[in-house]
């Protein structure tokens, strides 16, 4: 029988940091609320959670990497919202941000989850921030908790 390493959804004892973009804060604020709710419901300490606010989603990769490199956190959750406009700005920001978040995780070895909404319009963003489509901040936090526990299972 093979040894299976799998994370669980208990945040008890985990040190979690959140990097959140201020741009589109009316959406990002809901994502942060969802993340904090999950931390509390999963046995973690919402009061002990660090939230690093950055100008926008484009800055999230650097924030994630800086937080992860401190060695103070078991996982980092990136939260933001990029809403398509009339220009190509959306494609540039979304693509580079996703690549940067992935790179931060791979270079530091710390789980970094992707809780950034990329939406075609405001209505889609609102749906993903806590209405019809759930809360992507909560979902990203669950992924971060599971990955942090899975990585701890390697030791």
DSSP string for 10-26: --TT--EEEEEE-TTHH
Work out the percent of the chain whose per-residue pLDDT is above 90.
Answer: 83
User: How crowded is the C-beta side of 77, counted as CA atoms within 13 Å?
Assistant: 33
| From the candidate CATH numbers 1.10.274.30, 3.20.20.80, 3.40.50.960, 3.40.50.720, the one assigned to the domain spanning 16-152 | 3.40.50.960
Residue 143's alpha-carbon distances to 8, 49, 93, 155, in angstroms, are 10, 16, 23, 19
What 8-state DSSP symbol labels residue 152?
H
Burial zone of 155 (CB within 10 Å; 0-12 exposed, 13-18 middle, 19+ buried): exposed
Q: Which residues are catalytic?
A: 89
Of 108, 133, 135, which is closest to residue 39 (Cα–Cα)? Answer: 135
> What pLDDT, on the 0 to 100 scale, is given for residue 82?
93
Q: What are 114-142's pLDDT values in tens digits?
A: 999 999 999 999 999 987 679 999 999 99
Higher per-residue confidence, 85 vs 56:
56
Q: Which residues contact 53 (CB under 8 A, 6 or more apart)?
A: 20, 21, 22
What's this model's pTM, rounded to 2 decimal places?
A: 0.94
Is the pLDDT assigned to residue 86 strictly greater than 70? no
């Amino acid at each position: 029988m093979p040894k299976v390493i799998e994370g669980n959804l208990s945040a008890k004892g985990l040190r979690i940091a959140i990097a959140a973009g201020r741009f589109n804060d009316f959406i990002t604020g809901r994502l942060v609320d969802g993340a904090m709710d999950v931390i509390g419901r999963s046995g973690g300490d919402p009061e002990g959670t660090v939230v690093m606010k950055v100008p926008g989603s484009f800055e999230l990769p650097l924030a994630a990497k800086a937080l992860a490199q401190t060695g103070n956190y078991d996982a980092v959750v990136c939260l933001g919202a990029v809403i398509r406009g009339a220009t190509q700005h959306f494609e540039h920001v979304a693509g580079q941000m996703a690549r940067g978040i992935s790179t931060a995780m791979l270079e530091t070895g710390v789980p970094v989850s992707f809780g950034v909404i990329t939406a075609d319009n405001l209505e889609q963003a609102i749906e993903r921030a806590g209405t019809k489509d759930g809360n992507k901040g909560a979902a990203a936090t669950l992924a971060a908790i599971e990955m942090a526990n899975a990585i701890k299972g390697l030791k």
